[in-house]
Structure 1
């Protein structure tokens, strides 16, 4: 049986996913599931470096004004430019360096 992190790695090696999509695929519902997956992604990013792989991040973007956030493993809540909370989540994928 695979651990949650092993499942995330397997999924991200196939294609890119947002945190919400990963939560649905892993059948994680409820408050805090996004936070858990973000913690897993941070740990996965560190572990991948040892294997010669990298966690690619497509940054979050404001759907209202188009502001592009920094490439970070986090989900912003509001746009610093227009204050909108209509944010496209960052997407993650695993690639070989």
Structure 2
């Protein structure tokens, strides 16, 4: 089973953040989150062809509560308060 197939299987069960997915896939190192983000972009296209959708719960600033756009990305800091205390976005696959 490929890494993207594993991601799809995991996201069909429940929601995960990028860090959680990297841990579940036993990925370590500096580029692990970036690799998972790239995989999620591909997964979004794959599941769309299957009549499913990748749902995104947007990232949130833990300091001021600012809600980021729902996108496949991890913001580095809040545009409102400049805090780097950001809750990662969460992803889940649902059938439409």
Equivalent pairs counted in the alignment come to: 96
Equivalent residues in 2 for 1:39-78, closer than 5 Å: 39-78=38-77
* Pair 1:88 & 2:87 matched: yes
Q: Gapped runs of 5+ residues in structure 1? A: none
Match of 1:79 in 2: 78
How far off is 1:26 after superposition? 0.5
Match of 2:15 in 1: 16
Q: Work out the CA distance in 2 between the residues paired with 1:46 and 1:71.
A: 16
Task: Tell me the TM-score normalised to structure 2 length.
Answer: 0.99
CA RMSD of aligned residues (A): 0.4
Q: Work out the CA distance in 2 between the residues paired with 1:57 and 1:76.
A: 14
Q: Which whole-Å deviations, capped at 9, do the CAs of 1:8-59 have from their partners, x for residues lacking one?
A: 0000000000000000010000101000000000000011111100000000
Task: Tell me the TM-score normalised to structure 1 length.
Answer: 0.98
- Segments of 4+ moved more than 3 angstroms: none
SS at match of 2:78: coil
Q: Work out the CA distance in 1 between the residues paired with 2:25 and 2:57.
A: 21
